[in-house]
Every structure is written in structure tokens, then in C-alpha cells.
A and B are shown apart, each in its own frame.
Chain A
Amino acid sequence: MTGLDTQILTTLLKERSGLSLTGDKQYLFESRLGPVARSHGFKSLGELTDALRRSPPPGLVRAVVEAMATHESLFFRDVKPFEELRSFIIPKLMEARAGTKTLRFWSAACSTGQEPYSLAMLLQDEPRLVGWRLQITATDLSTQAIERAAAGRFTHFEVQRGLPAKYLVKHFKRNGDDWEIAPALRQAITWKVFNLLDDPAPLGSFDVILCRNVLIYFDQETKRLVLERLARTLAKDGFLMLGSAETTIGITDRLRPVPEHHGIYVPT
């Protein structure tokens, strides 16, 4: 790969997904795009970037962008944020929404679904929410990830990362080597392909947005753009949840951290 190839790929990624690949991460092009090049019939990454520069066949750009994203996820990731949902966010919102008894959640980079499914299981376990209308929208840039998520099928390893055994027993069925989540949970979630660089207004407004472990891949300006749009789709008394290595501080003043509740932000 030449310097020009690297530059073309870096620009494409930044424009299409916000992903900012700095110098030390560029070795990832070789390891992640090799298989894409082969499956599209190119002999080298050079040939692939050539095609991208000219008129790329449909699907190639998408395949490149999807291959470069990190889809790593697990159920109840980091444990604590889900405790915060249960003991802090939900009680507050139940008070605020006692009139409408409706809560809207958005998992904004849901990857293969572990995050929205964790949320759905947690909500179903909450006796105080019986009789409430709970809507979960789950989106990701990757069509492949959304398809897998919506199918609700997880491997032996995936169901053992973060998923409490009591939930495995309650919500999953074995199917060969895989595990399938209950149809009721799959159907409780609205799945959509959505790019965080686009305007989320059409998705409606949300009481809770989980946007976890995706901003870390963006540069400062993209983080600001995305965060400010999220702030606009968040109810005035709603909550934004970020990943443990992410923050709004120093990026935008439309959102501020809630003291003593790590990873939780509210509109200013």
C-alpha cells in the first residue's frame, strides 16, 4: 500500500462514518481490508483503493466502511451503567412521565445487539414498569451488524460475556451451538441502519440515549457534531449515556455530566 492509498482510505472512512484512523492505527487497513479485497476479486489493497477512486461497484464502499469499524460488544457492558439505569435514571423518569407512562430509549451504535437486548431484559425485570409503554430503537451504521442483532442469535462465547446466567435461563434457547433470544425481546426492539453523521431528527425524541464506545473512534469535531445532534433529540429532562472512556467535557456545553453518576449526561 502506498501513502496515497492510505490517504484515500483515511478520507473515505472519515467522510462516510466519522471514523478517524490516526497514524498508529493504519496497520488495521491491511488486516481488516485484506478479506474485503479478496472477496471482491481484487489482488491487492492497491487495486481495491484504485477501484474506490474511480467508480466503486455498489456495496464496495459499504463493505470497506463496515470492515473498518470495531463491532466488539458484550451484554451489560461495564455493569455499572445498567445499575445506574435501574437505580437512578428509570426512577427519575418514572416520576417525570407518570402522566404518559411512555419511555423511549435509543441505543445509537448497537453493533450486534447486546446493548439494546441488555436494556430490554432489564426493563422487563422491573416490576414498577408493568403497564408502561416502553419503546427501544436500536441503530448502527453496519447493515450486517443490524441483521445479526435483529436475528437475535449469539455464539457460545457471546452469551457468556456479561450476560447473567439467570437471564440466559430466562430469555434464551439453545439452537445447535448457538443461543437464540426470545422472539418477544427481538420484537420489542425497532432495528434500523442509521449513520450518526446524519440528522437523527426523523427518529423522534428520546428519554434515554445510549451512545457508547463509538465516539472514541471519532475526531474532536465529529464528536461535537454528533453530541450536539444527540442533545437535540434528547428530551429536556432526558439522559445520555456514554462509554467509560468518553465525555462531553471540553467538546460541547450543550450537555453536562451528572455529578457522582459516571458516564451520565443531561442537556444544559
Chain B
Amino acid sequence: MATCLIVDDSRTVRSAARRIVEELSFEVEEAEHGAAALARCEARMPEAILLDWNMPVMNGIDFLRRLRAMSGGTQPRVIFCTTESEIDRVVEALEAGADEYVMKPFDRSIIESKFAQVGLL
């Protein structure tokens, strides 16, 4: 079973996302900020990451830049999932190496269609 790491500082968002992602047949791991997520990725790289932008300790974009700089192994698909919905932000995320971008609020059909778009389904 493929693994998806959900990175978000809100427990509510994590559990809402977890329900959807588990229904898509992923094993779910959680992290509450970028630094924790980075540690997880160093231990074992997931196939997919659902990534919030604004978080304490290390935000999503900093995490993503470090992740993409990591060498060796296959890189996961990264889907931003954030309240940031300015075009400039989407561009910034794509340039930093995001595969897709979800603007909150999200629902099952959005997550499912984004997973399909990046080839995870």
C-alpha cells in the first residue's frame, strides 16, 4: 500500500484529509509542521504528500524546497493544500516543485481529482 504524509498544523484538517486519503487506499502518516515532515521523509519517503503552507517551526514552502533538494531515491508527489489562493502563491509553489495545488476548503472530489491528475490513482 502506498503511503501519504499529511502535513498540517490543524488536527481537524489532518483528520478530514486522512478520511479522504484512506478511502483512496493510502496508508496515512501525519506531521504537524515542515520539520517533523522532513524527519519522516528522511526515515522513509512516502509516495504522496499533502502539504499545508502556513505552519509553525517550518512552513510548507521551505519544507518543499528542502525536500526537492534531497538526493537519492524517488521523490514523492507533492500536493499543496492551503488557504493561500492568490495566483502568485500558486506560481511560487509550482516553481518550488509542487505537483499540484489545492485551495481550501476542499472536499473528497477535489482531492481525488488532484491525486488522479498527478498519477497517484
Chain A residues in the interface with B (C-beta under 8 A): 74, 76, 79, 156-157, 160-162, 164-166, 168-169, 172-174
| Cα-based distance from A161 to B100 in the complex (angstroms) | 12
- In the complex, what's the smallest C-beta–C-beta distance from A166 to chain B, in angstroms? 6
Q: Which residue of B lies closest to A75 (CB)?
A: B113
Contact residues in B for A160 (Cβ distance below 8 Å): 102-103, 106, 110, 113-114
Interface bracket on B: 20 to 34
Q: 1/0 per position for B86-109, CB-CB distance to A under 8 A?
A: 110011011000101111011101
- Contacts A156-B105, A160-B103, A169-B94 supplied; 19 other A-B pairs, CB < 8 Å: A79-B117, A157-B110, A160-B102, A160-B110, A160-B113, A160-B114, A161-B113, A162-B117, A164-B100, A165-B100, A166-B94, A168-B87, A168-B101, A169-B87, A169-B90, A173-B87, A174-B85, A174-B86, A174-B87
How long is the Cα–Cα vector from A172 to B85 in the complex, in angstroms?
A: 12
CA–CA, A87 and B13, complex, Å: 39
Report the minimal beta-carbon distance from B80 to chain A, rounded to whole angstroms: 8
On chain B, the residues within 8 Å of A76 by CB distance are 117
A-B contact count (CB 8 A): 41
Cα(A160)–Cα(B69), bound, Å: 28
Expressed in whole angstroms, the Cα–Cα distance for A12 and B110 within the complex equals 36
Q: Which residue of B lies closest to A177 (CB)?
A: B85
At the interface, yes or no: B43 with Cβ under 8 Å from chain A? no
Closest to A161 in B: B113
